[in-house]
Amino acid sequence: MATRLQEVDAVMVGMGWTGSIMARELTKAGLTVVGLERGGDIKPSEDFALPGVRDELKYSRRLELIQDPAIETLTFRHRPSESALPMRRFGSFLPGNSVGGAANHWGGHTWRYLPSDHVLRTHLTQRYGAKMIPEDMPIQDWAITYDELEPYYDKFEKLCGVSGKAGNLRGRKIDGGNVFEGPRNDEYPNPPMKTTLAGQMFAHAAKELGYHPFPRPASNSSQPYVNSEGLTLGGCQYCGFCERNGCEANAKAGPHVCVLPKLREEPKFTLRTRSWVSRLIYDKAARKVTGVVYTDTRTGEEFEQPAGIVVLSAYVFGNVSLLLHSGIGEPYDPASGKGAVGKNYCYQLSRMGVTLYFEDRNFNPFMGAPGAGIVMDDVNGDNFDHTGLGFVGGAIITCGHDGARPIDYRPVPPGTPRWGAAWKQATAKWYQRSLNISLSGSNYANRNHYLDLDPTYRDQLGRPLLRMTYNFVDNDYKLSEYCMQVAVKIAQAMKPNHMSPPRLRRGDYDIVPYQSTHNTGGTVMGTDPKTSVVNRYLQSWDAHNLFIMGASTYPQQVAYNPTGPLGAMTYWASEAIVNNYVKSPGPLVQA
Amino acid sequence: MADDKLPRRKFLLGAGLAGTAVAAGLAPAEAQPPPATAAPSTTPASDPSTYLTLTASEVAFISAVADLMIPADELTPSGTDCGIVTFVDRQLAGAWGGGAKMYRAGPFRPAKPEYGYQLSLTPREFFAAGIAATNEWTRSTRGKDFDRLPAKDRDQALKDLEQGKAQLAGFDGKQFFEALLGITMEGFFADPIYGGNKDKVSWKMIGFPGLPAVYAHLIEEWRDKRYMVEPQSIADFS
């Protein structure tokens, strides 16, 4: 029997970005909040300190900051007709594992989604007609427009100290910024990062060809910065150890730098680490959750934490699996198309690009940061005419070294052996003299791509593992071909001595090589409870005191990294809770 | 004398291990007398210290692979002299070798490579099985353990493994090759604190400066100019 604890106003399930921001906003409004985190705590001054933080083997290869699959993983299959197998090691994506979540090891790319991304189905239908969208592609509008979310995007950027350059200030297009972005009310809080040589060369070639390159917006603070919480970020050191590592300079935004120092001082907030939530307690008749059940993994003891409001603020997979384990909502069935929980799981098209080799260049590839790269949006989203192309969506094309940690970064020209004397010669020669042009492509929903519970494999608590059914489809392959042609054109204009064959999206999804930790969907937002799990305030249709944060609420995934809207939506939802829900608990939107 | 039959393992005597103890630990197939014309040891171990987990035949195997993948030349010393064997030994003896951060519950079944690693073996067990299977294969096809083959044959055998041409009994040779290449490159390029990359030889080879990697004031100054410094590692700051 679980020990029943005293009721609190709100409980957070997961203490990454969304749990930290939500807890901060709710305690500011006077609510008592408990933050439950399955992993341990992080003390940046010790855990992310020099010299140990510069350890490629520990962080990049042995995945120190990543969730332990022995505790909980997923099973995977390509199509509903197959039986799934467990992901025994994480590879293709890397969920976080402690207070701070995946923000401890992210690279910091911080985007606003395009206005058309927020109303995707409506936009494509209006521009091209309904027939443009394949029947097996259940893409949906977000339940909130770009204009509505703009002030909250701004708020999150000022929390993170995002470095970048505006390309659209209140409708005025600005050369050198992203001219395709939605109108911004304010500049980025920090100027763009210094650009690497690779980025400069790419920007020059892209501009000559008529494209619109701009510095990548990133939560790598380009200078010391005091954020909206009054907390100080350091200036980025371009160390080249950003993603998969912590940041010793406190220049990479994350809960530990941007929110938690304030939240930890808040008497109305209690943080409980090593507290693994196994299920929510659901009163279906009352359409409410009454609290959560969790195991203290230090003692093995089980507790019930009653709460007036429950916020699911885990990673995508934690949010979806907790609904399924708790019997909340109808699980999605691809055969009938009914049910919404687990529906519209999407990923991203990554590991696409081309490598260029220059005899006479010195890139110093180890000096870099995600924000030191250059991006172009010309073939992203619906920024270009798709008529007759046979696909929808697009890709961002990027260039610029964000580090060159040598176990993983050792480009050699095509035809070079992978070991031995010739390999050594080539590695020594080209480490300094090569660069990658990379593509990240959108990935729209497919009827057969979803998350449900596996019938065979279990986690450490004995619960069924979440099962992922997912593969690449025709739209992805065509998108990849089209956008790659543009990348290759730019690459050729850069006049390299050698060039690798283009790395296209071909064949089946492979869970082994890293691609992106930009998994989305499964608890998608919408206006219809039959096809969505939460309303525009991220409030569950099935339990009005349950709010679900994060990228699990995105109906499909774009080419950008998902963190920007995730932070913005948390601010947006917290405001709805504080201003409306707390005063008058009940559905904020009538179905 | 067992050690007379196993000249390639003589280095172990220097580490205080009795030859008989070495022989006693060998698998039956491994213990059979080698041909009278057994090739001399290909490489001495890089480090005379006692290994944590690798057996004598495993040390010989990993040494041979390390020296093929990273031959001595004007750029760096050989793989063994760079400490690769010590690195592999420590990795396999540690948490990673024991299967940390792996989901290990069954049932198990064969799967396409896109599903990732699907065996119940820990990395330590996987390497042990792979070495045994490879030696069995070279014995049946070429008459000797892998590390005792003439240099040219050893090179070809490793290429056969890489290209999936080696028919190992009950083991995926290509998968084993990828694991060997992966751990060898880790040992060569990781921070020297783990026992490989001795004297930061690989970092010097490519021009990776290591630590402290604080470049905010350098990135523009050194644009398109080769930034060359003596690399520093974790131990240099500890």
Q: Is A451 on the interface with B (CB under 8 A)?
A: no
**What's the gap in Å between the CA of A62 and the closest CA on chain B?**
8
Mean pLDDT of chain A: 98
Report the alpha-carbon distance of residue A67 to residue A73 in Å, rounded.
8
Tens digit of pLDDT for each residue in A324-370?
999 999 999 999 999 999 999 999 999 999 999 999 999 999 999 99
Mean pLDDT of A514-536: 98
Q: Is residue A309 helix, strand or coil?
A: strand
Mean pLDDT of A140-165: 98
Q: Are residues B194 and B233 in the same domain?
A: no
Domain count across chain B: 2
pLDDT of residue A65 exceeding 80, the answer is yes
Using an 8 Å CB-CB cutoff, list chain A residues near B112.
508
- Interface contact A511-B115, CB threshold 8 A: yes
Q: Is residue B7 helix, strand or coil?
A: helix
Amino acid at A413: P
The closest alpha carbon to A471, from A381, A347, A352, A560, belongs to: A347
Give the dihedral sign, CA A362/A368/A374/A375. positive
Q: Which of A105, A118, A212, A518 is catalytic?
A: A518
* A557 strand-pairing partners: A443
Mean pLDDT of A129-140: 97
- Interface contact B117-A89, CB threshold 8 A: yes
Please name the member of B75, B113, B209 whose beta carbon is closest to the beta carbon of A366.
B209
- Interface contact B71-A407, CB threshold 8 A: no
Please name the member of B181, B206, B215 whose beta carbon is closest to the beta carbon of A427.
B206
Tens digit of pLDDT for each residue in A540-582?
999 999 999 999 999 999 999 999 999 999 999 999 999 999 9
Q: Are residues B60 and B154 in the same domain?
A: yes
Report the alpha-carbon distance of residue A25 to residue A400 in Å, rounded.
36
Using an 8 Å CB-CB cutoff, list chain A residues near B70.
419, 424
Take residue B54 and report the two structure tokens written for it. 């690798």
Q: Are residues B33 and B103 in the same domain?
A: yes
Q: Are residues B153 and B45 in the same domain?
A: yes
Tell me what pLDDT residue A1 has: 81
Cis before residue A51, ω within 30 degrees of 0? yes
Query: Which DSSP category does A525 fall into?
Result: B
Tens digit of pLDDT for each residue in A362-391?
999 999 999 999 999 999 999 999 999 999
Mean pLDDT of chain B: 85
DSSP string, A18-33: HHHHHHHHHHHTT--E
- Interface contact A56-B181, CB threshold 8 A: no
Residue A415 contacts by C-beta under 8 Å, 6 or more apart in sequence? none
Cis before residue A529, ω within 30 degrees of 0? no
- Interface contact B206-A406, CB threshold 8 A: yes
Mean pLDDT of A176-194: 98
CB B170 within 8 A of CB B133: yes
Residue A321 contacts by C-beta under 8 Å, 6 or more apart in sequence? A451, A453, A463, A466
The sheet that has A74-77: what strands, in order across it? Answer: A85-86, A74-77, A464-469, A450-458
Mean pLDDT of A412-420: 97
Mean pLDDT of A407-411: 98
Q: How far is CA B153 from CA B43, B69, B185, in A?
A: 16, 14, 22
Percentage of chain B exceeding pLDDT 70: 79
- Interface contact B186-A57, CB threshold 8 A: yes
Q: Is residue A335 helix, strand or coil?
A: coil
Percentage of chain A exceeding pLDDT 70: 100
- Interface contact B222-A368, CB threshold 8 A: no
**What's the gap in Å between the CA of B199 and the closest CA on chain A?**
15
Q: Are residues B116 and B133 in the same domain?
A: yes
Mean pLDDT of A498-516: 97
pLDDT tier, B49 (very low <50, low <70, confident <90, very high otherwise): low
A–B: how many Cβ contacts below 8 A?
A: 172
Strand pairing of A85-86 and A74-77?
Answer: antiparallel
Q: Is residue B101 helix, strand or coil?
A: coil
Using an 8 Å CB-CB cutoff, list chain B residues near A51.
211-212, 234, 236-238
Phi, psi of A373 (to 5 degrees): -95, 165
Q: Are residues B110 and B49 in the same domain?
A: yes
Tell me what pLDDT residue B34 has: 39
**What's the gap in Å between the CA of A152 and the closest CA on chain B?**
31
Tens digit of pLDDT for each residue in A77-121?
999 999 999 999 999 999 999 999 999 999 999 999 999 999 999
Tell me what pLDDT residue A591 has: 82
Using an 8 Å CB-CB cutoff, list chain A residues near B191.
54-57
- Interface contact B102-A70, CB threshold 8 A: yes
Please name the member of B105, B162, B237 whose beta carbon is closest to the beta carbon of A457.
B105
| pTM of the complete model beyond 0.80 | yes
Strand pairing of A301-312 and A546-548?
Answer: parallel
Give the dihedral sign, CA A366/A369/A370/A374. negative
Q: Are residues B194 and B221 in the same domain?
A: no
Using an 8 Å CB-CB cutoff, list chain A residues near B75.
424-425, 428
- Interface contact A407-B193, CB threshold 8 A: no
Q: Are residues B148 and B225 in the same domain?
A: no
Strand pairing of A8-13 and A301-312?
Answer: parallel
Report the alpha-carbon distance of residue B157 to residue B171 in Å, rounded.
15
Report the alpha-carbon distance of residue A324 to residue A466 in Å, rounded.
9
Among B211, B219, B227, B228, which would you mutate to test the A interface (most chain A Cβ atoms within 10 Å of its Cβ)?
B219
Query: Which DSSP category does A503 fall into?
Result: B
Tell me what pLDDT residue B145 has: 98
pLDDT tier, B40 (very low <50, low <70, confident <90, very high otherwise): very low
Tell me what pLDDT residue B5 has: 38
* Matching residue, tokens 């990294």: A561
Tell me what pLDDT residue B19 has: 34
Q: Are residues B216 and B137 in the same domain?
A: no
Structural domain including B233 reads 208-238
Tell me what pLDDT residue B52 has: 97
Report the alpha-carbon distance of residue A282 to residue A241 in Å, rounded.
43
**What's the gap in Å between the CA of B36 and the closest CA on chain A?**
30
Q: Is A407 on the interface with B (CB under 8 A)?
A: yes
pLDDT of residue B17 exceeding 50, the answer is no
Query: Which DSSP category does A351 fall into?
Result: E
Report the alpha-carbon distance of residue B197 to residue B200 in Å, rounded.
5
Please, which residues 235-254 of chain A have a Cβ atom closer than 8 Å to chain B?
Answer: 235-241
Tens digit of pLDDT for each residue in A270-283?
999 999 999 999 99
* A307 strand-pairing partners: A8
Please, which residues 336-365 of chain A have a Cβ atom closer than 8 Å to chain B?
Answer: 361-364
Take residue B109 and report the two structure tokens written for it. 């079944």
DSSP string, A183-242: PBSS--SBPPPPPPHHHHHHHHHHHHTT---EEPPBSB-SS-EE-TTSPEEPPP--BS--
- Interface contact A70-B194, CB threshold 8 A: no
Chain A's closest residue to B233, CA to CA, is A51
Q: Is A89 on the interface with B (CB under 8 A)?
A: yes
Query: H-helix or E-strand containing A425?
Result: helix A421-430
Q: Is A458 on the interface with B (CB under 8 A)?
A: yes
Tens digit of pLDDT for each residue in B154-206?
999 999 999 999 999 999 999 999 999 999 999 999 999 999 999 999 999 99
Query: Which DSSP category does B40 fall into?
Result: P
- Interface contact A57-B194, CB threshold 8 A: yes
Please name the member of B70, B105, B208 whose beta carbon is closest to the beta carbon of A424.
B70
> ∠B71-B190-B79 over CA atoms, to 5°?
15
Percentage of chain A exceeding pLDDT 90: 100
pLDDT tier, B43 (very low <50, low <70, confident <90, very high otherwise): very low
Rg (CA), chain B: 20
Annotated active-site residue A518? The verdict is yes
Q: Are residues B53 and B97 in the same domain?
A: yes
Using an 8 Å CB-CB cutoff, list chain B residues near A404.
208
Report the alpha-carbon distance of residue A574 to residue B33 in Å, rounded.
75
* A395 strand-pairing partners: A441
pLDDT of residue B9 exceeding 60, the answer is no
Tens digit of pLDDT for each residue in A445-470?
999 999 999 999 999 999 999 999 99
**What's the gap in Å between the CA of A454 and the closest CA on chain B?**
13
Domain boundaries, chain A: 1-164+247-348+444-471+509-585, 193-215+349-441+472-507
**What's the gap in Å between the CA of B80 and the closest CA on chain A?**
13
**What's the gap in Å between the CA of A366 and the closest CA on chain B?**
7
pLDDT tier, B14 (very low <50, low <70, confident <90, very high otherwise): very low
Please, which residues 483-512 of chain A have a Cβ atom closer than 8 Å to chain B?
Answer: 508-512
DSSP string, B57-76: HHHHHHHHHHHHHS--SSS-
Please name the member of A236, A425, A509 whose beta carbon is closest to the beta carbon of B216.
A236
**What's the gap in Å between the CA of A459 and the closest CA on chain B?**
9
Report the alpha-carbon distance of residue A570 to residue A552 in Å, rounded.
13
- Interface contact A406-B203, CB threshold 8 A: yes
Tell me what pLDDT residue B21 has: 35
**CATH architecture group of domain A1-164+247-348+444-471+509-585:** 3-Layer(bba) Sandwich (3.50)
Q: Are residues B133 and B16 in the same domain?
A: yes
Q: Are residues B146 and B231 in the same domain?
A: no
Among B208, B218, B228, which would you mutate to test the A interface (most chain A Cβ atoms within 10 Å of its Cβ)?
B208
Report the alpha-carbon distance of residue B41 to residue A336 in Å, rounded.
67
Mean pLDDT of A294-307: 98
CB A526 within 8 A of CB A532: yes
- Interface contact B181-A235, CB threshold 8 A: no
Chain B's closest residue to A92, CA to CA, is B116
